[in-house]
Each structure stands twice: as C-alpha cells, then as structure tokens.
C-alpha cells in the first residue's frame, strides 16, 4: 500500500535564505576584521567595533549563522526524503528556525557591546546559552521523532552523521556552558584554569568536528550521489570511517594546548588522537570523490559537482594539515600565529563554504520550481571563490610561518634575533593586505551567487511542497538475514545510544582527571586570588576581548621562555574563571607583564598605543579613561567566586567595593602626580584594568620557578 | 575495479541513492593502522617509559642556549669610555629613539621614566652604572632589562648616547629625581 505525502519544503527555503543573508554578514565582518589587522585605523576608535569585539562576531556568524543555517537547510531537505516522511512537526521546525535566527540576532547585538564569556565560539552569555539549549533540543526532538515515524527501515549514512551531530553538540554545549550568573549579562564558568582550558578546547575542537564536519559529511553523502547520479563508492568504508571519526574526534581537543601548562599526558593524548584522525577523515573524502567515478565529465559542466568536488578536496587538505599541526614540534612553530588562521579558513571557506554553495545551486531550481538563472554566473562564482581561498590560504601560510620562524630565531650568542614583538607583526602586514584581497574575491563570488539566486527566484514557478508516494507502513522489525551493522541501521534508538557512548568515553577519560585541579599544584605553593580591583579589571579585559590578540601562556619552549619569562604553571591560572590562555598572538604574551612597565606606561599605551610603541597596530582605547567601572557589582562577583572555591574572606566579599576603591585611589593619585589630569580618575575603567595587568605573573608564592624574570 | 562489474548493493536505495560495497583501499588501511601503531608507541615512550617530559626538554634546550652566551668583557668606567669613542653615535641615537624615547622622551627630558638630561641620578651617573641599569633594568621601578634584546655593541652604543645627554637640560624636563652627581 502506498500513500501520497508532501515534504515540508518551505522550511528548507527559509533556512536557505537565512544562510545566504548571514553568510553576507559573516564575510563582510571578515573583510572588516582583516582590514583592522592590516591597518589599525579600521577600528575607528569606537568601542563597539574594535578587533577584540568584532572577531568573535565574525567567527560566530560564520560558524553558527552561515554554516548553521546551511546545515539545517540540508538536513531538513534530505532527512525527509531519506526517511520517506514529512518532518514530524511543522511547529517544531518553525520554532527551530525562528529561535535560531533570534539567537543570531542576540549574538550580533551582544558581542559588539562587549557582553562575552571570552570562550571561543562559546562567547554568548548565559541567557543566550539557555536559548541555544532549548532550540537545539527542539531540533533534536523533531529529528528523532521524524526518525521514529520513518517509512524506510534502514537509516542511510547521512542520517548517522546527523544523529552524531545532534547528540554531541548538545553534550558539548551544555558541559562547556555550565556557568553561574552574576547579572543579566555576566557569568563565571564553574571551570577554572586548566579545567576551563581543557573543557573549552574539548568543546572548541569538537564544535569543528560535530558542527562543521559531521553534518557536512552527512550533506555530502546526500548531495554528492544525487548530483552525480552515481552510487556511493563503498558502504563498508562509510561504516568504518563513521565510527572511527565519531570515536576518535572527541579526544583531540588538547592539541589546542600543546607545550602549555596542561599536564603532559593530556597533551600527548590530544596529539596522538589527532594523528589517528587522519585516515578516518580521509575515508569521507575517498567516499565522496570516488562516488564520482563514471561521472567525472560532469565536473566540466555542472556547477554543483564543481563546488562539491572543490569542497571535498579542501576537506582532504584540511584534515591532512590538522594532524600535522597537532604534532608537538610542528605546533611549536604554528601555534599562536596565522598558520592556524590559514588552516581554519581552508576548512571554512573551502569545505563548509563550497559545500553550502554546491547545495544551494542544487536546491535552487528544485525548491523554487524553475531553472537556475545562469550556469555561467555559477561558474564565475566558483572561480572567484577558488582564487579567493587560494590567495587567502597562501598569504596566511606565509605570514604564519614567517612570524613563527622570527619568534623562534636565536643567534649564536643565545639572544633572540627579533626581540621586538612588534617587528615580527609589521613584517607580515603586507600579507595581511593580500589576505584582504583573497577575502574580497571570495565575497565577489558570493555576490554573484546572490544575484543569480535573486534572478532565479524571480523566475520561480508555483511554490508547493514536493509530493511523494511512500508506503503506508514499513515494519522496523530486525530480520535474521541482516548483518549486525545492517540490523543496527534499522534500530534508531540503539544506534543513537551507541553514538552517545562513543563520544562519551573519550570525553570522560580526557576531562575527568583534571576535575581535581589540586592534583597538579605543588603543596608548597600558595596562590593569592585577585584583589577586588584586579578582578574588576579582569572583567574589563574580557569585555574588551584582549584575549583575542594576547595570550597568557608562556609555553615550555626555549624561545617563548627567553622572550616572555618562565613557563606558565597550572597554579597560576587556578582561580581564573574563565581562563585567558588565548589562542593567537597578534600582540605579545601577557602572562608576565605585571610590573614590567610603570602604571603611566599602561595608561598612555591604552589611550594611544602608538605613543609608546610607534609601529603598534593595537586599537586605541580612549573610552577606558572615560567610562566608569562597575565597582558596585563587586560584592556579587566575589560572592560567586567564593562559592566556586576562591579563598576570599567574608570580609573581603562584603567590603569589596570599598577595598577596590581604596586601591584605585592609590593608582589614580600616582598617575595624577605624574601629570594625568582627571579628578575622578579612580572611577574609570582604565584603573582596574591597569591593576589587573600589573598583577599578572605575581600571584603565586612559594614556587621558585614562577617569578617575573627568568 | 572495473566498474562495469560492480553491482550496487541490494536493498540499499535511499531516495534513489544506491551504494557499492567496494573494499577499503589498502593504502588507506595502512595509513590508519600505521597511525594507530605509531600513536601507541609514542604514548608508551613518552608517558609510560622514560621519554623526557616537556620540563626536562625545556631545561636541556635552555642550558644549550645558556652555553652560547659569552660573558662580555669585564667592564669599568674607563674601558666603557674608551668603547664609547669607538661606537657609532648614529646607532646609539636610533636605538634610543626606538626603545627608550617612549618612556624617557625624545630629547631625554623624561616622561614615564626619569629625566636623563639633568645631573641627578637614582642609580648613579657613571658609565658603568648607566650600562648596568640599561642591561639589567630596575624591575621594581618599571625599567626593563635590555641585555636580551640588545647585543653588547648596541648596549654600549645606546649607553654612550645616554651618557652624552647628561647635563644637556632639555626643555620641559621632568623634575630631577635621585641624588645630584658629585662633581669630580
């Protein structure tokens, strides 16, 4: 018995249009921040638009708004057809769509305002975190409900990847976002120091894995064979590389923390699991490319195939480069510089971008019931995009490797050859301009696509949900002839539970040991918590996004130690909520900057960095000397810190505001004595910030290996 | 692998998508098992057996760098004065402009750091005293050490330049700090 049903195509159109809109925002902000690195004047001396606040906007827009909407469009389109049923609930689909767009708008408003947790790709504050959880659960319920109502007994490989995505992203988001609110737009994570670092990069790396990789692999498994009209190359390769990928990916997070204060074993685990990830990743590439056997001629004529092949090729390149970058000694050269930026843009622009565009060209005529307006323009889009990516990739490789080698260079007298940090930055500024060209070309290609899309939609036929004849009933009972995995493909719940176990094992083994942070702190050591004034300054440091360009992690590498001082230790950040180790050094490391320069140096440097360092490309922060710091919030903040185990006395908590103001007066007075004219200086944000910077590297007592100088 | 002989798997059809069941490529399996074996041995060596940890590796490489450092010649005021004669004044001036002027002012008039053009000194105004302050810094006063950033010749050149600033009394100078230098 067959019955006629209609797939929900409206929701796909909605997500597709949202994808294009947000892609435009992500690319535009990308070009803007690229310009800011080429010339500091593009910060416009406005607090909402400094690099520290815009860079998170760029990454969030690219990942969650552009790629996110692309994923949802593809999942809603393919899932219904692969399961031979309409989505279980149109209401949940619409809730998901509008909820997600609201979250993006909230992100676009709060990030420029400096409302941030400073955890990369998880910057959004707690109310938005809750909203994300709700919307994600709605998406998950809708997907699993649809799976339960399917008229196709076995789940196709694309669905496996969607299941892995829904389950793991939920786990990552919830665990990484456990935080205690201290106001409507401010919270402290329960994780501190190495815990926070490990949890954050377990999240950060697997956001790449389960938000930018597994769902896109699922999309590839649908759109590649559909567009090529060829069978998938190897079913058993699908099985092996799926399970290997899901199991191994989750362990690899600590490769973001190599040579750091992270315990050796965790670093080594992160490195070796990244190496083992190479083949499972390439399994996806092989299955994608070899599916095209017998259809390679379409590469010349079909823009969809062009984009998909380009995409899978970049996936192969990125997943080969990733394991290499995870090798400790390679990482010593590449970490904190633009090689990593090159790496992620190969993935984002090439793999995610091109796959989304290929999917869009596939879906446009089908969803709008018409022909693509111009194949020729789609061809132009491809070549502009490809050229843009290559220029981007090559310029940032060169910039990263150049700067990395300059940081490492030591002469035959044991001295750094480039001791001035700013010299190593200015050397690569020309390449920052080249990058702007690459990004602009990519944007031009995108705009050609938008034009093509508008023209196509103008020619649309009647918009109606596609009809399909499906069986009225399909038995989901396992049959004895099936192989074990085939049987599993018919058991949606069992399959999902196994996926959960696969990602849970690695998560627990790598995170559990650091839950007791004291295990890694020598007993002779005492760490003084930040004074109330310093804590207030730290919150301003986070708000301004200083961590975007400044690390606080002197690695266990000779050239790092010679440049910045003794390697950072676990205890130094044990009260840091959130941790501020950073991931990129556009400016120097600050772990030991405390007391290195006088207060007046910092005061003048914040207001205009070029007064102190002529060639600096840091934005100016004149508003820090004008805006009032939130002294009255301090007791609340200290109370939360105390509840999380920071040893503040009850008296300090209660009198936090007075204590901070008293310390601030002393700093303000000494600045006034040296000529700063502002009678109300102590109330301004710049004073706590200076107090915080001056405290960096001076909070640990009892460890002879931790001091200002070597 | 003649694809004419390949048959898509029976019962594997999803929205028109069929599947082959080609064997896993040999080179791919080799890569996979190779990385697993390597990883296992790597972990054993570094985390279970006696492979060096990062602390030990760092110590070793820092010691090697330390051994490269030649102690500069033993210095006193006379030797330094002689070295001042042979050092390039232009070099001293340009190093001063790049590294010192931000805090001590373009003319040495003092700004964040003390005035260098008067005859008062906090840490002494002799060539050797100046050379030592420039090399080793005065950490609790915010003067950074420059010995790791400047070569010996560069340190001498900039010390010579600063030494010549003494007594030039730049306009708008910061008020004198420290003690007046004894006239010789």
Q: What is the pLDDT of residue A505?
A: 94
Nearest in space to A155 (alpha carbons), one of A91, A60, A238, A224: A238
Is A277 within 8 Å of A319 (Cβ atoms)? yes
Which sequence spans correspond to the domains of chain B? 13-68, 77-180
CA distance A387 to A349: 11
> Of A290, A558, A601, which is closest to B142 when you measure between CB atoms?
A601
Q: What is the pLDDT of residue B2?
A: 47
Bridge partners, A527 (sequence order): A700
pLDDT at B183 over 70: no
User: In this predicted model, what pLDDT tens digit does every residue of B27-49 receive, in sequence order?
Assistant: 999 999 999 999 999 999 999 99
Question: A228-250 burial by CB neighbour count: b if 16+ within 10 A, else e?
Answer: bebbbbbbbbbbbbbbbbbbbbb
Is A124 within 8 Å of A179 (Cβ atoms)? no
Contact A268 B20 (CB under 8 A): no
User: In this predicted model, what pLDDT tens digit does every residue of B127-158 receive, in sequence order?
Assistant: 999 999 999 998 878 898 888 888 888 999 99
Is A496 within 8 Å of A163 (Cβ atoms)? yes
Q: What is the pLDDT of residue A190?
A: 95
CB-CB neighbors (< 8 A) of A323 in chain B: 35
For domain B77-180, give the fold.
Cytochrome Bc1 Complex; Chain D, domain 2 (1.10.760)
Q: What is the pLDDT of residue A74?
A: 98
Q: What is the pLDDT of residue A284?
A: 97
DSSP state of A63: I
The H or E element spanning position A700 is strand A700-701
Contact A225 B17 (CB under 8 A): yes
Whether B10 contacts chain A with CB within 8 A: no
Task: List, in sequence order, every beta strand (DSSP E) within A361-479.
Answer: 467-471
Task: List, in sequence order, every beta strand (DSSP E) within A299-397.
Answer: none
Of the residues A159, A226, A227, A276, the best mutation for testing chain B's interface (the one with the most B CB atoms within 10 Å of its CB) is A276
Mean pLDDT of chain B: 89
Q: ipTM of the predicted structure? A: 0.92
Contact B148 A420 (CB under 8 A): no
Q: Looking at the complex, report in whole angstroms how far the Cα of residue A277 sits from the nearest Cα belonging to chain B.
A: 8
Q: Looking at the complex, report in whole angstroms how far the Cα of residue A601 sits from the nearest Cα belonging to chain B.
A: 6
Residues 6+ apart with CB under 8 A from A130: none
Nearest in space to A322 (alpha carbons), one of A200, A431, A208: A208
Burial class (CB in 10 A: 0-12, 13-18, 19+), A424: buried
Look up tokens 């004529």; give the residue: A301
Q: What is the pLDDT of residue A515?
A: 83
Q: What is the pLDDT of residue A574?
A: 92
Mean pLDDT score, B106-110: 91
Bridge partners, B120 (sequence order): B180
Is A131 within 8 Å of A466 (Cβ atoms)? no
Q: What is the pLDDT of residue A517?
A: 75
Given a cut of 70, the residues of chain A with pLDDT beneath it are: 703-710
Contact A598 B113 (CB under 8 A): yes
CB atoms within 10 A of CB A126: 21
Q: What is the pLDDT of residue B1?
A: 46
Domains annotated on chain A, with CATH:
10-510 (1.20.210.10), 535-701 (1.10.760.10)
Query: Parallel, antiparallel, or unpaired for β B120-121 and B13-14?
Result: unpaired
Residues 6+ apart with CB under 8 A from A210: A164, A165, A168, A169, A172, A249
- Alpha-carbon torsion, ordered A402, A333, A395, A62, to 10 deg: -150
């Amino acid at each position: 018995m067959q019955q006629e049903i209609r797939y929900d195509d409206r929701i796909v159109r909605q997500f597709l249009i949202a994808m294009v809109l947000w892609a435009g925002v992500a690319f535009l902000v990308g070009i803007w921040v690229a310009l800011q690195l080429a010339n500091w004047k593009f910060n416009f001396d406005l607090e909402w638009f400094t690099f520290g606040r815009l860079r998170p906007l760029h990454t969030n827009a690219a990942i969650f708004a552009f790629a996110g909407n692309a994923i949802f469009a593809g999942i809603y389109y393919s899932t219904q057809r692969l399961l031979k049923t309409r989505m279980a609930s149109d209401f949940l689909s619409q809730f998901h769509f509008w909820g997600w767009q609201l979250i993006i708008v909230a992100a676009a408003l709060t990030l420029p305002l400096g409302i941030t947790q400073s955890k990369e790709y998880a910057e959004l504050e707690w109310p938005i975190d809750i909203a994300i959880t709700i919307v994600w659960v709605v998406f998950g319920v809708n997907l699993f409900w649809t799976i339960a109502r399917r008229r196709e007994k076995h789940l196709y490989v694309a669905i496996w990847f969607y299941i892995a995505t829904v389950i793991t992203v939920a786990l990552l988001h919830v665990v990484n976002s456990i935080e205690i609110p201290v106001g409507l737009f401010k919270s402290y994570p329960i994780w501190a120091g190495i815990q926070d670092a490990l949890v954050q990069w377990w999240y950060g790396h697997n956001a790449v894995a389960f938000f930018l990789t597994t769902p896109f692999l699922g999309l590839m498994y649908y759109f590649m064979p559909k567009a090529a009209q060829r069978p998938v190359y190897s079913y058993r390769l699908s099985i092996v590389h799926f399970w290997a990928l899901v199991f191994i990916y989750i362990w690899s997070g600590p490769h973001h923390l190599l040579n750091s204060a992270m315990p050796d074993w965790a670093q080594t685990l992160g490195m070796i699991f990244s190496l083992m990830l190479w083949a499972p990743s390439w399994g996806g590439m092989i299955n994608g490319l070899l599916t095209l056997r017998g259809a390679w001629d379409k590469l010349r004529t079909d823009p969809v195939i062009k984009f998909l092949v380009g995409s899978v090729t970049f996936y192969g390149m990125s997943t080969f480069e990733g394991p290499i970058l995870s090798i400790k000694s390679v990482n010593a050269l590449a970490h904190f510089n633009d090689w990593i930026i090159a790496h992620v843009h190969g993935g984002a622009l090439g793999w995610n971008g091109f796959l989304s565009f290929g999917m869009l060209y596939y879906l446009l005529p089908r969803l709008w019931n018409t022909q693509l307006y111009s194949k020729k323009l789609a061809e132009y889009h491809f070549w502009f995009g490809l050229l843009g990516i290559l220029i981007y990739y090559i310029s940032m490789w060169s910039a990263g490797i150049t700067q990395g080698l300059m940081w490492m260079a030591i002469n035959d007298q044991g001295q750094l050859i480039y001791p001035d940090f700013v010299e190593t930055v200015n050397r690569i500024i020309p390449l920052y301009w080249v990058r702007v060209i690459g990004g602009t070309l990519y944007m031009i290609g995108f705009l050609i696509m938008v034009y093509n899309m508008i023209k196509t939609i103008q020619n649309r036929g009647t918009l109606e949900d596609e009809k399909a004849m499906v069986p009225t009933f399909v038995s989901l009972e396992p049959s004895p002839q099936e192989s074990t995995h085939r049987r599993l493909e018919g058991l949606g719940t069992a399959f999902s539970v196994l996926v959960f176990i696969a990602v849970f094992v690695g998560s627990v083994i790598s995170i559990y040991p650091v839950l007791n942070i004291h295990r890694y702190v020598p007993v002779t050591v005492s760490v003084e918590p930040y004074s109330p004034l310093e804590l207030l300054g730290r919150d301003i440091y986070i708000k301004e996004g200083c961590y975007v360009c400044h690390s606080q992690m002197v690695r266990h590498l000779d050239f790092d130690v010679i440049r910045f001082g003794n390697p950072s230790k676990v205890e130094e950040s044990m009260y840091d909520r959130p941790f501020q180790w950073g991931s990129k050094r556009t400016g120097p490391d600050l772990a030991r900057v405390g007391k290195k320069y006088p207060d007046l140096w910092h005061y003048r440097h914040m207001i205009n960095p070029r007064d102190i360092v002529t060639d600096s490309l840091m934005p100016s922060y004149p508003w820090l000397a004008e805006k009032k710091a939130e002294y009255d919030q301090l007791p609340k903040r200290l109370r939360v810190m105390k509840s999380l185990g920071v040893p503040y006395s009850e008296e300090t908590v209660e009198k936090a505001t007075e204590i901070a103001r008293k310390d601030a007066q002393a700093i303000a007075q000494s600045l006034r004595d040296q000529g700063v004219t502002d009678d109300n200086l102590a109330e301004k944000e710049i004073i706590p910030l200076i107090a915080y910077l001056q405290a960096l590297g001076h909070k640990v007592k009892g460890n002879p290996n931790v001091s200002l100088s070597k | 692998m003649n694809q004419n002989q390949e048959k898509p798997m029976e019962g594997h059809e999803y929205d028109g998508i069929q599947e082959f069941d080609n064997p896993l490529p040999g080179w791919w399996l080799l890569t996979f098992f190779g990385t697993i074996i390597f990883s296992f041995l790597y972990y054993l060596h570094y985390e279970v057996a006696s492979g060096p940890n990062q602390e030990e590796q760092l110590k070793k490489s820092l010691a090697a760098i330390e051994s490269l450092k030649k102690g500069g010649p033993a210095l006193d005021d006379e030797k330094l004065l002689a070295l001042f004669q042979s050092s390039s004044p232009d070099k001293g001036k340009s190093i001063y402009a790049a590294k010192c002027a931000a805090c001590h002012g373009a003319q040495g008039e003092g700004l964040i750091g003390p005035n260098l053009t008067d005859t008062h000194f906090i840490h002494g105004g002799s060539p050797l005293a100046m050379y030592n302050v420039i090399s080793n810094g005065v950490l609790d006063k915010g003067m950074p050490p420059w010995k790791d950033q400047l070569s010996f010749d560069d340190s001498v050149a900039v010390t010579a330049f600063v030494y010549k600033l003494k007594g030039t009394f730049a306009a708008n100078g910061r008020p004198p700090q420290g003690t007046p230098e004894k006239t010789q």
